[in-house]
Amino acid sequence: MTTSGGNNKHGSLYGIGVGPGDPELLTIKAQRMLQSVAVICFTQLDDGKESYALGVVRGVLEAAKPEFLAITIPSDDNTPVSPDTWSDAAKDIAVHLGQGKDVAFITEGDPMLYSEFFNVLESVKSVVPNVDVEVVPGVSSVMAAAASTGMPLVTHGQRLTILPKVYGIDHLREAITNSDTTVLMEVDRDLLEALANLESLGLAGKATYIRQASTAGESVVEDISKLAAEDLDYFSLLIIRR
Ligand SMILES: C[S@@+](CC[C@H](N)C(=O)[O-])C[C@H]1O[C@@H](n2cnc3c(N)ncnc32)[C@H](O)[C@@H]1O
């Protein structure tokens, strides 16, 4: 996606998908742009761990030596990101854009699928309405996870549902019942409990758990009844094929 505000004095904002983890799954276009922008922006958990997206692209940035702009967000799932976080980040980004520097916000997977890029884009637009924006798609974790299972997500005429989190057992039941394949992202203890309560849908043997797809830490678990809460990883998802 490219939108042009026709303002040549400002730098451009790029939303760049860096793929699911394997640096070899970074697109050639993403690599070229990352090596040419002045500023790399990313979200950083307040627990100090390196940003996942930044870890993927560290190698390709070595020679380019860009400036880094971290947006710090809470590592605790129960603490929502404050709206000020995005408006403060937008002000910082706007300063760089105003100096004619291009800024790339990097995101794991694809920027248009459950990504914080949306928050960044909306807040930057409220500060710099005419900002030039370009989005570089990335290999989504959904695609990488399907590849790891060796089975298509969906084939001819089948229905696919992707859910970011489960908000209740009825929601989950409805999605699974109405889809041939359901992908559940952001797997957590509540989700596992909800699935255990859906035995009546005959899910036994039909859900596959994929952790850290495409990375050295990847694992694929076919029997999710063997999964314990402590095995769960933020970078994991479930594929349910009915
Ligand atoms: C905020 S969403 C970001 C999705 C991302 N934009 C994409 O296209 O994959 C974060 C969720 O993506 C999934 N995810 C990201 N990377 C993954 C990986 N390498 N393996 C499995 N799941 C992953 C997990 O479900 C995680 O909770």
CA 140, chain centre distance (Å): 7
Answer whether 19 contacts ligand 1 (Cβ < 6 A).
no
Residue among 42, 110, 237 to mutate when testing ligand 1 (max atoms within 8 A of CB):
237
How far apart CA 178 and CA 237 sit, in angstroms, is: 19
Concatenating the DSSP letter of every residue in 62-122 gives TTT--EEEEEEE-SSTTSPPPHHHHHHHHHHHHHHHHTT--EEEEESB-TTSS-THHHHHH
Answer whether 116 contacts ligand 1 (Cβ < 6 A).
no
How far apart CA 9 and CA 123 sit, in angstroms, is: 20
Answer whether 106 contacts ligand 1 (Cβ < 6 A).
no
Answer whether 73 contacts ligand 1 (Cβ < 6 A).
no
Question: Mean pLDDT per segment of 10 residues, for the chain of length 242 residues?
Answer: 59 98 98 98 94 97 96 90 96 98 98 97 97 98 98 96 82 90 90 77 85 97 84 92 90
Cα(185) to centroid(ligand 1), Å: 7
Cα(121) to centroid(ligand 1), Å: 19
How far apart CA 139 and CA 33 sit, in angstroms, is: 16
How far apart CA 76 and CA 8 sit, in angstroms, is: 40
Residue owning the nearest CA to atom 10 of ligand 1: 186
Read off the pTM. 0.93
Domain limits, CATH 3.40.1010.10, in the chain: 2-136
Q: CATH assignment of 2-136?
A: 3.40.1010.10
Domain limits, CATH 3.30.950.10, in the chain: 141-241
Number of neighbours of residue 204 by Cβ within 10 angstroms: 10
Cα(201) to centroid(ligand 1), Å: 26
What pLDDT sits at residue 221?
92
Residue among 135, 136, 141 to mutate when testing ligand 1 (max atoms within 8 A of CB):
141
How far apart CA 18 and CA 138 sit, in angstroms, is: 6
Cα(48) to centroid(ligand 1), Å: 20
How far apart CA 143 and CA 152 sit, in angstroms, is: 9
What pLDDT sits at residue 1?
56
Encoding tokens for residue 220?
Answer: 């694929």
Residue owning the nearest CA to atom 22 of ligand 1: 236
Fold of 141-241: 3.30.950
Cα(164) to centroid(ligand 1), Å: 9
* Nearest atom, ligand 1, residue 20 CA: 19
Length of the chain: 242
